[in-house]
Amino acid sequence: MREHPSVRVQRADLRRFVQAVFQSCGVPEPQSRTAAEVLCYADENGFDTHGVANLERIYVARLQDGRVDPLAAPAIVAETPATAVLDANDGLGLVAGARAMELAMEKARQTGIGCVVVRRSSHFGSAGYYTQQAQDAGMIGMAMTNLGSQTIARPLGGSVNMIGTNPIAVSAPAGQLPPFVLDMSTTVVATGKIRAAQRRGEAIPEGWLIDDEGQPVTDPRAYDEGTGHLQMLGGALETGGAKGYGLGLMVDIFCGILSGANVGPDPMLLRPEGQQQAKEDQNIGHFFLALHVEAFCPQAEFRTRMDSMLQTLLNCPAAAPATQVVYPGYLEAMGRRDGNQVQLDGAVFEQLASLAKRLGLNELPMTREVVQS
Amino acid sequence: MREHPSVRVQRADLRRFVQAVFQSCGVPEPQSRTAAEVLCYADENGFDTHGVANLERIYVARLQDGRVDPLAAPAIVAETPATAVLDANDGLGLVAGARAMELAMEKARQTGIGCVVVRRSSHFGSAGYYTQQAQDAGMIGMAMTNLGSQTIARPLGGSVNMIGTNPIAVSAPAGQLPPFVLDMSTTVVATGKIRAAQRRGEAIPEGWLIDDEGQPVTDPRAYDEGTGHLQMLGGALETGGAKGYGLGLMVDIFCGILSGANVGPDPMLLRPEGQQQAKEDQNIGHFFLALHVEAFCPQAEFRTRMDSMLQTLLNCPAAAPATQVVYPGYLEAMGRRDGNQVQLDGAVFEQLASLAKRLGLNELPMTREVVQS
């Protein structure tokens, strides 16, 4: 892949373009606006691996080949005062996810907490978008997703991939300071970071991949070649690998088992070659939790206490080689200061331009500004 | 410390003895029975670092010097249909925790999910006890605790300890197979494992401790000497350390900020020496969540799906150097097969014997059987 310098585009232009792409794939206007907002959130917050870089490969491809139904509407199939199960009916995870968190928040306003799980969904972008929905309303939000039966990593000590990257996100509002936003895969890294190193021809740190004997692998190409195996958070058993493995399984239980979606550890994986079905990221499950802060303590008190805790962390003297102590969400908020612009990888911008042409969208409705590196 | 061979005692004897200890410290009969059950759970399930080894040092000491009130009753200070805030009134965390999870479960039966936070509590033992309460009733349970303002680990890149070991536990019922029970600190290891290596005069694996320059430390004595700093799960930034750090902070938000308990990152930590208050594990906060499985899907279906997932993991062929793939909770359940006996460290048994004498409990009402090692 040629290297392109990064570019900056107007945030509103990017959202409008992405919405136009979804609409050209048959997604109705309001849903396509939601989908664009969720997808662009990732790029607006520096999670490039979960944003418009996936627009064509994941979303357009599935909308066009019928694996994702552009007209699907999420339906409530079970409900209590504080919980619900949504069936996304094979629609966009981006739309079902936003609707599910809204519903969790409505319930939290009534009962103090709301919990909504989703089945038959698809890739929902960045988990942090949904927790931010809750945070914007002064609530604590939690969001998780599994990858259906798509498998990325091995169970601890195992030799067959059985678990996805299974991310967990949590947001909590603060007062004067940027909110706490944790958005993490339960693997050591997301696979996008391995592929980025591969593109740049760089070695990866020890701890990301191991070979069949459990030895560290630093060549990122080993991942796609199947000789380097992505570790769960914590790595080996003696450095806490059972914890990352356990968190990944917890995500499959909350998102998959509870909702009726697929999960990573599927018996089909152990059938002889040829009798396995495709390990598809279909029938993905999500889990959303919204906690109404006011049910626990006054909102202002919560925010003051958050500020005190977060400011203490920011004030912590750094130890070498670090130069600054931050908390999850802080750097993203700093990077968002010019809220009108979004930085994109140059290659991703070129992909969007060629996608626009192929979809017959007259032109890429964005002016770009080349970023000096 | 002299080395003693391990011993086995009758489970019922141990519980009865621990209850007698709590009663002799002024804890009323029903509460002392609960406290004994919670504390012994740790030993019965192989979490020795959180069980009767702490009976004298943590519980008896605090009950005797007045930091923990033996007569305190947890009081509900805020409540909605699905949530509550409990004030433990400086009583035993073991008692407040069990009551809080019961309340969360009562609420979950009504609204599908129950969430209870606790403030002004104290050390609650092993988080897994509480999630097992939920699991025993066919629910999914989640429990977390912070350590009040007691600090064990540094924020990522920082040079001052600001975070506790902040554990997270999750249990989910299965059918024929042992339940899923994840019970983990958000640091690389619990401090008890470092001290155990110190007692045995053994080196610890790289990844647990780092020095002031971020280099690995394998001498366990460095931890108590203050020259080896415990890492959060994931270790350094490049191997996911921001995730363990974020999870630790999430626990402080859920347990401390939301309930009004103390948290690790307290501004007092950055005052000049001499102006700091003692970093006490007082006013600890806990967080409990119970999910009523029936609100989401039929119980039998849930258990069948759990069994399928867990059996697939057990069937996964092992990669060297591992010999078997298991899941969180499996080995503990296998170790519990002789449910009438509990194995104790010989030194811990001797501590209990001398505690019995000091408290004027006529004799240690346990027969022991020496374990051949």
pLDDT in tens, B171-228: 999 999 999 999 999 999 988 889 889 988 999 999 999 999 889 999 999 999 999 9
Average pLDDT, chain A: 93
pLDDT band of residue A322 (cuts 50, 70, 90) is confident
Report, as an integer, the average pLDDT of A20-38. Answer: 97
Among partner residues A170, A240, A260, which is closest to B188 by beta-carbon distance? A240
pLDDT value of residue A170: 98
A182: closest CA of chain B, how far (Å): 6
User: What is the edge-to-edge ordering of all strands in the sheet holding A7-10?
Assistant: A341-344, A7-10, A368-370
Which of B80, B166, B177, B306 is most worth mutating to test chain A (most A CB atoms within 10 A of its CB)? B80
Is the pLDDT reported for residue A366 higher than 80?
A: no
pLDDT value of residue B192: 83
Of the candidates A97, A29, A99, A20, the residue with the CA atom closest to the CA atom of residue A60 = A20
Q: How far apart are CA B154 and CA B241, in angstroms?
A: 11
Compute the C-alpha angle A132/B241/A123, nearest 5°: 40
Report, as an integer, the average pLDDT of B343-356. Answer: 91
Contact B155 A238 (CB under 8 A): no
pLDDT digits (tens, 9 = 90+) for B235-272: 999 999 999 999 999 999 999 999 999 999 999 999 88
- Classify residue B90 by its DSSP letter: T
A58: closest CA of chain B, how far (Å): 26
**Residue reference for tokens 């070695």:** A203
B13: closest CA of chain A, how far (Å): 32
Contact B240 A328 (CB under 8 A): no
Residue of B nearest to A233 (CA): B234
The pair of three-digit structure tokens given for residue A335, joined into one six-digit string: 């990077």
B219: closest CA of chain A, how far (Å): 15
Which of A105, A111, A149 is most worth mutating to test chain B (most B CB atoms within 10 A of its CB)? A111
Is the pLDDT reported for residue B302 higher than 60?
A: yes
B246 contact residues in A (CB cutoff 8 A): 170, 182, 184, 327-328
Contact B297 A208 (CB under 8 A): no
Among partner residues A184, A205, A234, which is closest to B246 by beta-carbon distance? A184
pLDDT value of residue A1: 44
pLDDT digits (tens, 9 = 90+) for A56-96: 999 999 999 999 999 999 999 999 999 999 999 999 999 99
B201: closest CA of chain A, how far (Å): 18
Report, as an integer, the average pLDDT of B340-364. Answer: 87
pLDDT digits (tens, 9 = 90+) for B73-119: 999 999 999 999 999 999 999 999 999 999 999 999 999 999 999 99
Contact B233 A244 (CB under 8 A): yes
The pair of three-digit structure tokens given for residue B186, joined into one six-digit string: 């958000």
pLDDT value of residue B369: 74
Among partner residues B184, B207, B309, which is closest to A265 by beta-carbon distance? B309
Q: How far from A62 is each of A22, A23, A56, B159, CA to CA, in Å?
A: 11, 14, 9, 48
Q: How far from A140 is each of A291, B137, B197, CA to CA, in Å?
A: 5, 27, 39
Residue type for B167, please?
P
Poorest-pLDDT segment among A8-17, A104-113, B67-76, B171-180: A8-17
Helices and strands in chain A, H and E counts: 11, 13
Report, as an integer, the average pLDDT of B38-55. Answer: 92
Q: How far apart are CA B7 and CA B264, in angstroms?
A: 37
Among partner residues A160, A242, A319, which is closest to B328 by beta-carbon distance? A242
Report, as an integer, the average pLDDT of B117-127. Answer: 97
Q: What is the DSSP string of B108-159?
A: HHHHSEEEEEEEEE-----HHHHHHHHHHTT-EEEEEE-BTB---BPPTTBS
pLDDT digits (tens, 9 = 90+) for A214-223: 899 999 999 9
Residue B94 phi, psi dihedral angles, 5° rounding: -60, -35
Of the candidates B182, B142, B190, the residue with the CA atom closest to the CA atom of residue B166 = B190
B316 contact residues in A (CB cutoff 8 A): 154-155, 158-160, 162, 265, 270
* Higher pLDDT among residues B339 and B9, named by residue: B9
What percentage of chain A carries pLDDT values higher than 70? 94
Task: Give the predicted TM-score (pTM) of the model.
Answer: 0.96
Among partner residues B85, B311, B322, which is closest to A157 by beta-carbon distance? B322
pLDDT value of residue A90: 97
Q: What is the dihedral of CA A255, A260, A262, A263, to 10 degrees?
A: 50
Q: ipTM score here?
A: 0.96
pLDDT digits (tens, 9 = 90+) for A139-180: 999 999 999 999 999 999 999 999 999 999 999 999 999 999
CB B243 within 8 A of CB B157: no
B118 contact residues in A (CB cutoff 8 A): none
pLDDT digits (tens, 9 = 90+) for B278-296: 566 689 999 999 999 999 9
pLDDT value of residue B277: 64
Average pLDDT, chain B: 93
Poorest-pLDDT segment among A42-51, A276-285, B46-55, B153-162: A276-285
Q: How far apart are CA B316 and CA B30, in angstroms?
A: 45
Is the pLDDT reported for residue B273 higher than 80?
A: no
Is the pLDDT reported for residue B1 higher than 50?
A: no
* Higher pLDDT among residues A37 and B346, named by residue: A37
Break chain A down into helix, strand, coil percent, rounded to 5: 40, 20, 40
* Higher pLDDT among residues B323 and A247, named by residue: A247
CA B267, B272, B274, B280 dihedral sign is positive
